[in-house]
Amino acid sequence: MARFIFITGGVVSSLGKGLASAALGALLQARGYSVRLRKLDPYLNVDPGTMSPFEHGEVFVTDDGAETDLDLGHYERFTGVAARSTDSISSGRIYSNVLEKERRGDYLGKTIQVIPHVTNEIKDFIHIGADETDFMLCEIGGTVGDIEGLPFFEAIRQFIQERPRGECILMHLTLLPYLAASGELKTKPTQHSVKELRSIGLAPDILLCRSEHPIPDKERAKLALFCNVRADSVIAALDLKSIYEAPLAYHRVGLDRAVLDAFGISSAPQPQLARWEDVADRVYNPEGEVRVAIVGKYTQLEDAYKSIAEALTHGGMLNRVKVRAEWIDSEIFETEDPAPHLERFHAILVPGGFGERGTEGKIRAAQFARERNVPYFGICLGMQMAVIEAARNLAGIADAGSEEFDHEAGGKRFTPVVYHLKEWVEGNRTVQRAATDDKGGTMRLGAYDAVLTEGSQVAGIYGSLSISERHRHRYEVDTKYRKMLEEKGLCFSGMSPDGKLPEIVELPGHPWYIGVQFHPELKSKPFQPHPLFADFVRAAVEQSRLV
Ligand code: GLN
């Protein structure tokens, strides 16, 4: 049975709980333990799939097809452990399970209450797969004191109480604000947030304090005294230039040691940190720089394309260059020539997206990249845009478009080169969808295999003819147009195993023009960059030598 580490947050949100959890996971791994990380989110959406990326950042998709919180992306990037649908849960899902059971009569005529029915559901969830791993790290979204978080905190209290002593610890992440006028780090907000935790029956074993400065002994002693935590378990989480230094930085300030001490483990192996030393060296000592334009719609919030930004960084690390990614709103190109905006970049990436707004601009960006021989990487919607561009400008289908846009606006304005996929094969069953299906969880989601054409550029990049990548889309390039497009030079170099669904297109003769229907960014890791991102950055480096 696993040992459990619960991670809560106080004072303010956005302190980086997800990253701290991920880095701690990596440190425990470095000491030879197996870990799994899990996120418990108090919001009422059943999953984040229907939330706008503006609201909540990117939706991270697991191999088994769950749409989850972006923190699961951090967990995977730091530990390499593939997240599962059972690693992410929200109040919405918990309540929906409880209500489903109530309707089925599972509770035998009882009054259904938050305690014990909702809390039991949460505890059952925490337990899933706990016998497969040494440490289970469970991060609670939100901040202590939030009304909607209460059932989760109560469930943890019960959980800790019910497990044998010494099997669970609580790590609380807070903020120590720095008052420049008096030159002091203030401990009061942390004291208050620990008080809040204790009022609901929870006591932290470790205090992780975000701070701009190291914590002086006086403040450390004060925190230990007032928060009832050992002085050596008050850990400073200092600001870092790169998130990839986090495992090393937390090790330096003794986080892994404090966690093991809290469990009473004195015989843990020394951590093997070479992997993270290499990662930090590559991040901090690049030998050049490339500029990549990300032409998309959700440009105001960087978290909307979190995994893409990280995968580009990983590609840069492999090539020992810094990738300077700039977000450009594609709508600009609907009224302005893309050339003056895009000429200063060494490569162009068009990411995934939903809805028609901004798509004409993306098509123009794809055209610019194709005609000017600038490396182009189209991901999901970005591949669909590349195909529509080729259909319009190479194959002469002037009104080529996607059914997605006609569905949205009503009516029929486009020739549907990209159509609404209503039936596909998943493993050994056929999945069917209607145009009127619910919006939540009904896309083609999760890992699917693809077969690559021998001798194609992507086969060379992957070094394999069969791959598996994660999907999240409703629309698909129509193979009806394959022959016509191939005659004009666009090669369908990756297909679903049954040959029905185009997975990859590429443009032979162009330095790097690749569109993929899946999301390779979700599987990239700093210590194992995704081959497509690694090679895309390599192509950007080549391009930078030309201009
Ligand atoms: N909107 C497109 C579809 O549903 C693309 C989705 C995406 O880019 N993730 O097919």
Nearest C-alpha neighbor of 279 from the set 249, 238, 234, 237: 249
Q: Which two structure tokens, joined as six digits, stand for 512?
A: 């790097």
For 25, 58, 261, 343, 472, the CA distances from 246, given in Å and listed in that order, are 11, 22, 20, 35, 30
Nearest C-alpha neighbor of 307 from the set 507, 463, 35, 77: 77
Q: Which residue has the tokens 């044998």?
A: 164
Return the best residue to mutate from 474, 477, 516, 518 for the ligand 1 pocket (most ligand atoms within 8 A of CB): 474
Q: Which residue has the tokens 């599962």?
A: 84
Note the residue count of the chain.
547
Residue ID of nearest Cα to ligand 1 atom 9: 352
Give the atom of ligand 1 at the shortest distance from the alpha carbon of 353: 8
pLDDT of residue 426: 80
| Residues labelled as active-site residues | 380, 519, 521
- pLDDT, averaged in runs of 10, over the chain (547 residues): 95 88 97 97 85 80 93 96 95 94 89 94 95 96 93 97 95 95 92 95 96 92 95 93 96 96 93 97 96 85 87 97 95 93 97 92 97 97 97 96 86 90 82 74 89 97 97 95 96 95 97 98 97 98 90
Give the atom of ligand 1 at the shortest distance from the alpha carbon of 351: 8
Ligand 1 centroid to residue 136 C-alpha, Å: 33
Question: Dihedral of the CA atoms 344, 349, 352, 358 (nearest 10)?
Answer: 30
CA 410, chain centre distance (Å): 33
Nearest C-alpha neighbor of 212 from the set 177, 245, 242: 177
Handedness of CA 220, 222, 226, 229 (dihedral sign): positive
Ligand 1 centroid to residue 389 C-alpha, Å: 16
Q: Is 473 in the pocket of ligand 1 (CB under 6 A)?
A: yes
Nearest C-alpha neighbor of 523 from the set 143, 73, 202, 211: 73
Q: Is 381 in the pocket of ligand 1 (CB under 6 A)?
A: yes
Q: Is 404 in the pocket of ligand 1 (CB under 6 A)?
A: yes
Ligand 1 centroid to residue 505 C-alpha, Å: 16
Q: Is 472 in the pocket of ligand 1 (CB under 6 A)?
A: yes
Domain architecture of the chain: domains with CATH: 3-279 (3.40.50.300), 288-418+477-544 (3.40.50.880)
pLDDT of residue 542: 95
Q: Is 353 in the pocket of ligand 1 (CB under 6 A)?
A: yes
Strands (E), 399-443: 400-402, 415-420, 423-426, 429-432
pLDDT of residue 299: 64
Residue ID of nearest Cα to ligand 1 atom 7: 352
Dist CA 296 CA 65 (whole Å): 24
The amino acid occupying position 43 is: Y
Residue ID of nearest Cα to ligand 1 atom 6: 473
pLDDT of residue 345: 97
Q: Is 474 in the pocket of ligand 1 (CB under 6 A)?
A: yes
| The model's pTM | 0.94
Q: Is 69 in the pocket of ligand 1 (CB under 6 A)?
A: no
Q: Is 518 in the pocket of ligand 1 (CB under 6 A)?
A: no
Residues 6+ apart with CB under 8 A from 392: 363, 398, 399, 400
- Report helix angle 71-79 to 17-30, nearest 10: 20
Pairing of strands 35-41, 135-140: parallel
